[in-house]
Structure 1
């Protein structure tokens, strides 16, 4: 039984807390390890050269596309129609390359989520979007299936928004992993704020969801998709 139903507390109980750790774990087989979150083209362009640059890049990504994605996930976890949310995600993702990447990641997330927390809602979305729904929407529905709430889903997205580029920078720059982890630690207050904003917007419905964007990420995603050789899928 979900302890939040009994107590009225919006925080996850012990089981929910453990489920959140599983969902946010980088070893959860949802395909994120193959994506750099825009870090690969940023490294090639010289915009990420060290830990300081990585922190600035990740903070910018978190407060733009990260906030948008976190709100979509929070809305799905809150029970808003995932098909409408998938359309809203399309409208908030102007880059065709990023839309394609989000749906590929959504397919992989769906496979992992249905194997881990099977539910009728996940099955219905998989049937309606056989080529994949946007990853944040699937993640939010996975969180809901795991007994987690909107802010939990938003925290998960906020974390993956910055952990993806950090992991990629270690590989791309041979950045010291300790430095990369320190960057993530310094960003935790920002992650908390973004998750709170996202969850608050989700509770107001689709019309209130943020549409923050990062045009340079869109441009470089299109360029990156055309590279004949690259280390990451996006």
Structure 2
């Protein structure tokens, strides 16, 4: 599998990592009336790319390079916890990380997946997968940023019954921002959080019978 094909595969929403059951806060944003149409969805996605996407991608790059340890309970895990104030967001990150590792075991069996523990953060798992797949570290960052955007965009399309063509056009429109954010993430680990997204994550787990896990 070529590096480009690996990148495309990791960015595919059909990848069986469990990411499709997570909305990245968009379900709670829709329920709260913060996202109601294409324009407000765009504002949400920009915010999510520039905060959650940037932080997660920068951590993934650091793990990819070996600057942060991928082992359970060590630097990659601890640094991700420190940048994820919401317990609900941490739980969602670990659930998605577990799904990515499950897939990684099947594709790159020579990697020491056991060292990551049973529930690594998504950023840590993404860093190890990028390295195992021989991606350039900036491509690891891009796969993280891109899926941070598309996961929420697809969920919003379902929740608001938006035209799929409109949502696809929006993701194309934000592609330059994804590239820019990935490049920034590759420079250094980012110290950033978003109080709004943290609040939405916490509210979501308290809601009765949500459609998405987060």
> TM-score, normalization: structure 2?
0.95
Distance 2:50 2:160 in 1: 24
Deviation at 1:96, TM superposition (A): 0.5
Residue pair 1:114, 1:123 contacting (<8 A) in 2 also: no
1:8 maps to which residue? none
Residue pair 1:95, 1:219 contacting (<8 A) in 2 also: yes
In structure 2, stretches of 5+ residues that fail to align are none
> Which residue of the other structure, out of 99, 106, 118, is the alignment partner of 1:115?
106
- Segment of structure 1 superposing worse, 145-154 or 116-125: 116-125
Deviation at 1:24, TM superposition (A): 1.3
Off by >4 Å, runs of 4+ in structure 1: none
Deviation at 1:39, TM superposition (A): 0.3
Deviation at 1:168, TM superposition (A): 0.3
In structure 1, stretches of 5+ residues that fail to align are 1-13, 202-208
Residue pair 1:76, 1:137 contacting (<8 A) in 2 also: yes
Residue pair 2:105, 2:111 contacting (<8 A) in 1 also: no
1:92 maps to which residue? 83
Deviation at 1:212, TM superposition (A): 1.6
Deviation at 1:28, TM superposition (A): 1.1
Verify: 1:166 aligned to 2:166, yes or no.
no
Deviation at 1:118, TM superposition (A): 2.1
Map of 1:26-175 to 2, 5 A cutoff? 26-80=13-67, 81-82=69-70, 83-125=74-116, 129-130=117-118, 132-175=119-162
Distance 1:57 1:139 in 2: 23
Q: Deviations over 1:132-157 (max 9, x none)?
A: 01011101101110111210110001
Map of 1:160-199 to 2, 5 A cutoff? 160-199=147-186
> Which residue of the other structure, out of 190, 193, 199, is the alignment partner of 1:210?
190
Distance 1:133 1:103 in 2: 5
- Segment of structure 1 superposing worse, 64-73 or 77-86: 77-86
Deviation at 1:107, TM superposition (A): 0.9
Residue pair 1:36, 1:165 contacting (<8 A) in 2 also: yes
> TM-score, normalization: structure 1?
0.87
Q: Against the structure 1 CA distance between its residues 84 and 119, is the aligned structure 2 distance closer, same or farther, given a 3 Å change threshold? A: farther
1:224 maps to which residue? 204
- Higher Cα Rg, which structure: 1
Q: How many residues align?
A: 210
Residue pair 1:75, 1:140 contacting (<8 A) in 2 also: yes
Deviation at 1:113, TM superposition (A): 1.1
Q: Deviations over 1:180-209 (max 9, x none)?
A: 1111011111101110011111xxxxxxx1
